[in-house]
Amino acid sequence: MSVTASATRCSFAAACRSIRSRRQARRWRHGRSGSASASTCSPPSRRSGCSRPRRAVSGRIGEGALRFGRLCETYPDAVFCSLIGHRPPPKRTPWGLQQRIAALRLRGVVDADGGLWHRTLDELDACAAAYAAYVLASGGGSWVGDPREGVIVLPVEELLPRYDPPPPPARAPLA
């Protein structure tokens, strides 16, 4: 199995929970990826060379998780979705940035060199990945994907069925 197919299966398992990159969501919505819409959890088309995983697609991480090695894969957007409990706004918006920083600070991730507000978006993503690795090393967290091909590690004990964006706030009519 190729790395691309493995990543696609892992992405497909995450997409069934509405955890996907915005570019991937646009491509799936407009039919440019060769796969069916991820929001319906239907398998990718045969043309892409991938299919729905045949084995379990999620589970909990227990004690001794590092006995087989110290390398894991994670996805910062999925980490933030699982920490916040819903799909946050884009990270380049003020509200999306604020939610990501708050999620990290609530878990004890601090930066003694001026705070997380002085970090780039890539550095915040690195903090999320490091937090997922920390939770894995302490025996917590969960995973999603096909274990025979690779899984994504997430720093929460239980995954929600879906991570949809919150509804827009109610707006009062202008007078």
Return d(Cα 78, Cα 27) in angstroms, integer.
Answer: 18
pLDDT tens per residue, range 118-165: 999 999 999 999 999 999 888 889 988 887 888 899 999 988 888 898
More confident residue, 56 or 166: 166
Residue 65, number of CB atoms within 10 A of its CB: 20
pTM higher than 0.75 for the full model? no
The segment with the largest mean pLDDT, out of 15-29, 32-46, 61-75, 149-163, is 149-163
Judged by average pLDDT, the poorest of 15-19, 23-27, 60-64, 71-75 is 23-27
Number of helices and strands in the chain (H, E): 5, 3
- Does residue 31 carry a pLDDT above 50? no
Instruction: Measure the CA–CA gap between 98 and 91, rounded to whole angstroms.
Output: 9
Structural domain boundaries in the chain: 3-154
DSSP string, 48-93: GT----SS--EEE--TTTTTT-S--B--HHHHHHHHHSS-PPPTTS
**53 pLDDT higher than 50:** no
Residue 113, pLDDT score? 82
Q: Lowest-pLDDT range, 58-67, 106-115, 116-125?
A: 58-67
The pLDDT score that the predictor gives to residue 45 is 38
